Amino acid sequence: MEARLQALQARIRPHFLFNSLNAVLSLIRRDPKRAERALEDLADVFRTLMSEPRQFVRLADEISLLERYAGIEQLRLGERLRITWELDTAPIDALLPPLVLQPLLENAVFHGVEPGTGAGEVLVRIERRGDRVLARIENPYVADQQRRVGNRMALENIRERLALFFDAEARIDTSADGLRYRVEIEMPYRSEGA
Amino acid sequence: MIKVFIADDEEPARERLKELLGDIAAELPTSVVGEARNGLETLERLPGSGAELLLLDIQMPGMGGLEVARHLGSLPEPPTVVFVTAHDRHAVDAFELNALDYLLKPVRAERLAAALKKASVPDRERLAKAAQSAREYISVSERNRIVLVPVREIIFLRAEQKYVTLRTRNREHLIEEPLVSLEREFAASFIRIHRNCLVARAAIRGFERGADGDDEPHWVVVLDGLEEKLPVSRRQWPALRELVAEK
């Protein structure tokens, strides 16, 4: 089971690591404080990615990973990346498998923002509805066949890990309407207290 | 003083390259004469900039560095090119295989200096081999400008002696690429109808019997958007007939 989890755990793209290091290097002379923060973010992101596989994390941890990851991408992409966060009703004590949301945000940036020459709007919305947790990540839809392939693999990986943790009670769906690409996850609300 | 142009979609990456150029200036003086944030912008801005050397990112939106380099080849005096990439195993393999100069990000000052010294104008054939997909544009050089013709607007390509005529709905251009290599590159969207002619599959409306006084009957292609009808050679007819069946 653990080996399986480890094998399934999403891995970050090397492209992201090297571009991020390069962005940090560009800051060291101009804005050393910001460079420090960026390296701290990068360290946190990689600590999470390289940690012993856990069965579950608190939503608060996954959200903080999202924010750190987004901070680094923001540095790299500047004005081109616009993220709207809708997290006011996110149940931060909910439990979920680790790295379920971060790869989706990474996909949104990789498939929806990087291939565009203009600014790309990304939406991250996490909310609780009764005994369910809903997460939605949206990005501009860019028809790009080569890039789409990697996307499906990440989705399959997340789907499998959700199934390992929640059995049939969780689902992950994608949709595209020509302008926007959307991934939605619905899972049971489980907390440590319960 | 080498005149350098920097093309990268990430602002911090462009800044970093400028910093490094500053660091090696004592050894190798350069001046940055232009910058671009994507492939199309590079092709617009570079020709008038006087750039002698281009630091060219491979992964850029709109048009990637490999395609940019192929179009630069149509300039009368193309700049020398050093490719820059973060991590793209496929690109790096293709580059090694075809002996194209490249730098890995993050770039080291010494590596940058060494690359600038030995940079060369990339070889067209090597570029074509390193490319992972067909071009989206064909470039035509007009004076010191690059005119890009979108491949999806091309109706047919016809070899005429030394040149290939590229026909769109409104215009025609002459290019100096062999028809065979165009056929190979655009096999997915063009089909050969004659020894000297490739037609866009999407532009074929149908076929008619040729109506001239030849002894042997032959077929012509009726095109979408053009009056001109193109003769089909007997040799190509069987393959084209199947296409008719599909339509």
Eight-class DSSP state of B189: T
CA–CA min distance B153, chain A (Å): 19
Of the candidates B38, B40, B64, the residue with the CA atom closest to the CA atom of residue B132:
B64
Per-residue model confidence as pLDDT tens digits over B131-173: 878 899 999 877 778 899 999 999 999 999 889 999 999 999 9
Eight-class DSSP state of B64: -
CB A188 within 8 A of CB A131: yes
Amino acid residing at A91: P
Residue A6 has a pLDDT of: 56
CB contact under 8 A, B61 and A116: yes
Residue B243 has a pLDDT of: 75
Per-residue model confidence as pLDDT tens digits over B37-56: 999 999 999 999 999 999 99
Phi and psi at residue B178, in whole multiples of 5°?
-65, 140
Q: Who among B61, B87, B107 is closest to A117 (CB)?
A: B61
CB A82 within 8 A of CB A124: no
Residue found under tokens 């026909």: B167
B231 forms bridges with which residues in the sheet? B220
Of the candidates B167, B210, B185, the residue with the CA atom closest to the CA atom of residue B127:
B185
Helices (H), A31-127: 32-50, 59-77, 102-107
Q: What is the ipTM of this complex?
A: 0.85
Question: How many degrees, rounded to 5, is the angle at CA A7 between CA A5 and CA A13?
Answer: 120
Structure confidence at residue B187 as a pLDDT band (50, 70, 90) = very high
CB contact under 8 A, B86 and A19: yes
Residue B15 has a pLDDT of: 96
Residues of B within an 8 Å Cβ radius of A: 9-13, 15-16, 19, 37-38, 40, 59, 61-62, 86-88, 104-107, 133
Residues 6 or more apart whose Cβ sits within 8 Å of residue B108: none
Mean pLDDT for B7-36 is 96
Q: Who among B12, B16, B59 is closest to A75 (CB)?
A: B12
Amino acid residing at A191: S
Per-residue model confidence as pLDDT tens digits over B73-109: 888 888 999 999 987 777 777 777 777 788 999 999 9
Report strand pairing: A120-129 vs B230-231. unpaired
Residue A11 has a pLDDT of: 65
CA–CA min distance B16, chain A (Å): 5
CB contact under 8 A, B105 and A19: yes
Straight-line distance from the first to the last Cα atom of chain A, in angstroms, rounded to the nearest whole number:
24
Mean pLDDT for A146-162 is 76
Residue found under tokens 């989706």: A104
Residue B127 has a pLDDT of: 80
Closest chain B residue to A143, measured at CA? B62
Per-residue model confidence as pLDDT tens digits over B63-78: 989 899 999 988 888 8
CA–CA min distance A60, chain B (Å): 30
CA–CA min distance B35, chain A (Å): 15
- SS3 of B98-119: the string is HCCCEEECCCCHHHHHHHHHHC
Per-residue model confidence as pLDDT tens digits over B206-244: 888 876 665 666 889 999 989 999 999 988 888 888 876
Residue found under tokens 């607007």: B153
- What does the DSSP assignment read for A114-144? TT-SS-EEEEEEEEEETTEEEEEEEEE----
Mean pLDDT taken over chain A = 89
CA–CA min distance A25, chain B (Å): 7
Closest chain A residue to B104, measured at CA? A18
Residue B215 has a pLDDT of: 60
CB contact under 8 A, B13 and A78: no
Per-residue model confidence as pLDDT tens digits over A23-74: 999 999 999 999 999 999 999 998 888 877 788 999 999 999 999 999 999 9
Round to whole Å and give the CA distance between B102 and B55.
Answer: 9
